[in-house]
Amino acid sequence: MHEKTQSITKLILKAAERARRETSAEPEPDQIARVRWPVACTVGPGLEGAIACESKVGYVNGSKGWLVYRGYDVFDLCAHSTYEEVCYLLLHGELPSPDEFKAFKEKLVDYRYLNQTLRLLMSFPLEEMNAMAALRMGTNQMRQEFSYIDHRTGHPPKMDVIGSDEDSIPMETQPKGERRAIYEFKKRGRRKRMRMNRQLDDAAGLQAAYHLIAGLATIAAAISRVQQGKLPIDPDPGLSHAANFLYMMTGRRPTPQEERVMDVALILYADHGMNASTFAALVVASTLSDVYFSVGSGVAALNGPLHGGANQQVLYMLEEVLEHGDVKDWVGQTLSNGGRVMGFGHRVYKAYDPRARVLAPLAAHLVRGNREMEPLFKVARQMEKEVVSRLGRDKKIFPNVDFYSGLVYGCLGIDPEMFTPIFAVSRVAGWTARVLEYLQNNRIFRPRARYIGEFGKRYVPLEDRAGG
């Protein structure tokens, strides 16, 4: 245990002890039985209850509040492991040997440098863009930088000439075919036809997963820098993933405590069953698209306020309630107007979210003496009491992972705009691990929708339709 971060480890161990005291230690047998296709299950709206595939990556037990990665309890991983080790575990299924870990970390060091991607990204108005939109764009640039896949497997060109107007072309050489002001570019060699089996392709495999895990942190940090009106910073090869991420965002090497807190947060968000963004990533992968496109769609799905966008909303909500001044009244009004309290409830957890069990005491520890965050934390505590007393027993609504994470990030000096990108920087491990696993036994996703529309309608020409 690192001396300066012992207090953090103690808090995690205490949270783990409490969780274990309050829940039993046996998984529900029906949740871990092998699937015999076709499977019978009760499906609710939003595919609730549907079983999409088998997986060995991770296990979420919603009624007990457990989270397990590859057989390891997330509390143990938070207390004793690192984000890099957890990434290796999720991708490979086992903890690494010292040599394997060294080689993996060296890869991450290499892949953190994304010069071409950042150069391209910097040509966009990142300071005006939604950070998640910019991050998603970054995954596309990474794909181009790393794989050159379009040069090899893109669609065959339909035309041999590229037409353009005169103004957009440098006039260094005399154009040919001037009659229609179309300029002829050197013909490219015929592109190869699309290969169906891309298992060995670098955009569909493990290297792409490593690249994305390392690279998303670099891109997110660069976006954060530009949004602060500063230039991106190169990674420091001597720092861990968590420390590098903080360093590239803030320009300051973090203290051991800050590094440890970020590391724990990254571990907690790394994987979480078949959540919306993971499912989105799998759907894209199942078409034999590639890992970059899959991660890009994961980022897009994560952006919504019902999923990853909640952590940012929580902080804004706490600020609003602080200003309102009366937590009980605010919660009462919100619920009676049919509103949702951000950071509460979960599709799967009908018990206290184990991730919130870790983040709540971390937030309590970090806010001490922080003039901006301490009052918000007090509001959060009161709010938890109020919401749980109203909705806990009947609706099984408790704080989720996002309720306290914003306070933790706020104490690290991170802007709320970056909260959801941080989620992506961590969850990329789960997305890629599950995509690679699914591809080993791939079947394209194709659920059905029940048509409840009309039939037999007669087409009326536009000019005969009523209305101006």
Write out the residues near ligand CMC by the rule CB under 6 A.
46, 275, 306-308, 310, 340-347, 395, 397, 400-402
Judged by beta carbon, residue 197 or residue 337, the one nearer ligand CMC is 337
Determine which one of 167, 346, 353, 394 is catalytic: 346
Give the burial class of 162: count Cβ atoms within 10 A of its Cβ; 0-12 exposed, 13-18 middle, 19 or more buried.
exposed
Give the burial class of 400: count Cβ atoms within 10 A of its Cβ; 0-12 exposed, 13-18 middle, 19 or more buried.
buried
155 is catalytic: no
Backbone φ and ψ for 161, nearest 5 degrees, come out as -120, 150
Judged by beta carbon, residue 296 or residue 345, the one nearer ligand CMC is 345
DSSP assignment of 429-461 equals HHHHHHHHHHHTT-----------S---PPP--
Determine which one of 272, 307, 394, 415 is catalytic: 307
Distance of alpha carbon 297 from alpha carbon 278, whole angstroms? 9
The pair of structure tokens assigned to 325 is 């001044």
Any residues with CB less than 8 A from the CB of 458 and at least 6 apart, and which?
Answer: none
Judged by beta carbon, residue 233 or residue 388, the one nearer ligand CMC is 388
The pair of structure tokens assigned to 327 is 């937590």
Judged by beta carbon, residue 114 or residue 380, the one nearer ligand CMC is 380
Closest CA to 114 of 152, 143, 85, 149: 143
To the nearest whole angstrom, how small is the minimum distance from the Cβ of residue 220 to ligand CMC? 17
Distance of alpha carbon 98 from alpha carbon 50, whole angstroms? 39
Distance of alpha carbon 434 from alpha carbon 277, whole angstroms? 11
To the nearest whole angstrom, how small is the minimum distance from the Cβ of residue 244 to ligand CMC? 25
Determine which one of 73, 290, 353, 402 is catalytic: 402
307 is catalytic: yes
Distance of alpha carbon 431 from alpha carbon 274, whole angstroms? 10
Give the burial class of 209: count Cβ atoms within 10 A of its Cβ; 0-12 exposed, 13-18 middle, 19 or more buried.
buried
To the nearest whole angstrom, how small is the minimum distance from the Cβ of residue 392 to ligand CMC? 11
Judged by beta carbon, residue 138 or residue 399, the one nearer ligand CMC is 399
Q: Is 240 in contact with 82 (CB distance < 8 Å)?
A: yes
Q: Which residues pair with 61 in a beta bridge?
A: 66
Q: Is 236 in contact with 247 (CB distance < 8 Å)?
A: yes
Judged by beta carbon, residue 254 or residue 421, the one nearer ligand CMC is 421
Chain position carrying tokens 């296709």: 37
415 is catalytic: no
Distance of alpha carbon 308 from alpha carbon 276, whole angstroms? 10
Judged by beta carbon, residue 285 or residue 397, the one nearer ligand CMC is 397
Closest CA to 267 of 101, 78, 89: 78
Q: Residue with the closest Cβ to ligand CMC?
A: 345
- Annotated catalytic residues are 307, 346, 402
